[in-house]
Amino acid sequence: MVRRDLLTKTQGLSSKTQYPIPKTQNLRPKTQNLRPKTQNLRPKTQNLRPKTLLVTGGAGFIGSNFIHYILNEHPDWTVINLDKLTYAGNLANLADIESQYGLLNPSKDLVAKTQDLRPRYFFVRGSIADRELVDALFSGEYFAANSLNPNTQDLRPSIVVNFAAESHVDRSILDASPFIETNIKGTQVLLEAARTHWLGSKTQDPTSNTQDLRPNIFLQVSTDEVYGATEKGKFTEESPLSPNSPYSASKAAADFLCHAYWKTYQLPVIITRCSNNLGPFQFPEKLIPLAITNALENKPIPIYGDGLNVRDWIYVLDHCRALDFTLQKGKPGEIYNIAANEERTNLELIHRLLDVMDNPQSLIKFVADRPGHDRRYALDITKITRELGWKPLYSFEKALAATVDWYLNHESWWRQIKSGDYAKYYDRMYSHR
Ligand code: NAD
Ligand code: TDX
């Protein structure tokens, strides 16, 4: 039984809906008590002029939340979502976006908002490591050649937000190869295309930071894991990188490439490094959705090692807002840490989760540790709070309640995932642990 008094009101889709079409407002807690007290703090600068964003990996967890967020916040921005649709990519995450803003069906809402029938969302299936495809997207030829742009919009991206990645540490321990291909080579392909198409033979003025003089931004979505682990203190943006897993090593390599393209070519790159996210649409291989869905199925919740590893949890919408602040106010060549200062041991986290869900603590099962398991991540977020004026709006408790609520109300979403290839992965990862 779930303690519904601790959750938001049931809303959204019935568990019978085969393809859940998430409502945008479902992404935000509806009840008063779950809404952050501070009014939504938007970046203070004017919106950038109409923009076309190339969002990569937009069908995954954070990318799909970001697309929901950005299309709602910026009625004159257009998003091209380039996603390979690996096991982690799921177009159901964007079904409402496709029908509201997509090519086939720009809605009446959109017309009312923008007096404009043009679609604002385009999905392209493909890899960021595919140079030819990426080039065609940057030049606009992709849409011309595919007759996908009847309104002849200028769909050449002026902003890249690179979420596309292999993102699961445990999978990187089983096989690092796809992590090298996507996280390193893919990022280099994107950087090179941006350099060729944005800079051509000239370079940008690296010191300029005004809207008109800074038409392009390459935002690399990185992670706290690149700093490695620390028992005490917090990592600042100046801390040396010391990644420990094949996943974090590949993300660190991508960060170094981004830095090199800034230093060498003055490509306007910004890197963000965020802590562990929780929220809607997270693939149930990661600890929180794995634990919620296992608890709902009355299955054991595997805790690695002694359960005393510490992570700092942030609600995914706070991360998306931080990325928006960064696009609007961040400085090229800079790095910004993003976190919510909500550190928990894994054991504390799961105890609280089971409490919120009113499931017995006996579901916890200690299993063999993750090889090379980082003990603790912790980020100093002084820079982004002081320089960009961002701060998180969701406490851990509110974020956890909203997340549990979402999984409760989107049972068909996670059941569909768990019944497919995921079952084989789960068996391989946990059955002999
Ligand atoms: P995810 O695994 O849920 O989604 C990744 C998406 O990228 C999927 O849609 C997948 O299909 C797509 N993809 C994979 N390879 C691709 C390729 N070659 N070309 C195009 N698309 C490809 O990941 P996530 O948790 O949403 O993470 C997004 C980004 O944020 C990653 O770069 C990750 O390193 C970073 N990050 C994640 C967290 C977290 O807690 N999840 C925290 C900090 C940073
Ligand atoms: O079954 C599990 N049992 C368990 O104890 C799983 C899947 C995880 N864990 C532990 C390992 C970590 O200490 O829980 C913690 C969180 O694990 P994950 O959800 O796998 O996240 P983590 O390894 O911390 O990495 C995440 O945060 C940083 C994302 O997956 C990365 O993409 C992001 O960069």
Query: Mean of the pLDDT values across residues 178-194?
Result: 98
How big is the CA angle at 77 (ends 38 and 269), to the nearest 5 degrees? 85
CB neighbour burial string for 370-382, b if at least 16 within 10 angstroms, e if fewer? eeeebebbbbbbe
Q: Which atom of ligand 2 lies nearest, measured to the CA of 304?
A: 5
How many angstroms separate the CA atoms of 145 and 30, rounded? Answer: 43
Q: Which of 190-204, 205-219, 375-389 has the highest mean pLDDT?
A: 375-389
| Centroid of ligand 1 to alpha carbon of 131 (angstroms) | 19
For residues 379 and 310, is the Cβ–Cβ distance under 8 A? no
Question: Any idea what the CATH number is for the domain that residue 93 is in?
Answer: 3.40.50.720
User: For the segment 225-234, what is each residue's pLDDT rounded down to a tens digit?
Assistant: 999 999 999 9
Query: Is 172's C-beta closer than 6 angstroms to any atom of ligand 1?
Result: no
pLDDT at 119: 86
Atom of ligand 2 nearest to the CA of 291: 1
- Per residue in 253-294, pLDDT (tens digit) is 999 999 999 999 999 999 999 999 999 999 999 999 999 999
d(CA 222, ligand 1 centre) in Å? 10
Q: Of all helices (H) and strands (E), which one includes residue 46? A: none
Helix axis angle, 287-296 to 346-357, nearest 10°: 30
Closest-lying ligand 1 atom to the alpha carbon of residue 128: 19
Ligand 2: distance of its center to the CA of 419 in Å?
Answer: 21
Token pair in block for residue 132: 């030819």
Confidence (pLDDT) at 221 = 99
If one counts the domains in the chain, the total is 1
Q: What is the pLDDT of residues 84-115, one digit of tens each?
A: 999 999 999 999 999 889 876 545 555 545 55
pLDDT value of position 72: 94
Distance of alpha carbon 244 from alpha carbon 33, whole angstroms: 40
Q: Is 163 in the pocket of ligand 1 (CB under 6 A)?
A: yes
- Residues 327-336 have pLDDT tens digits of 999 999 999 9
What's the CA-to-centroid distance between 282 and ligand 2, angstroms? 12
For ligand 1, is residue 409 a contact (CB within 6 Å)?
no
- Per the structure, the complete domain to which residue 148 belongs is given by 4-430
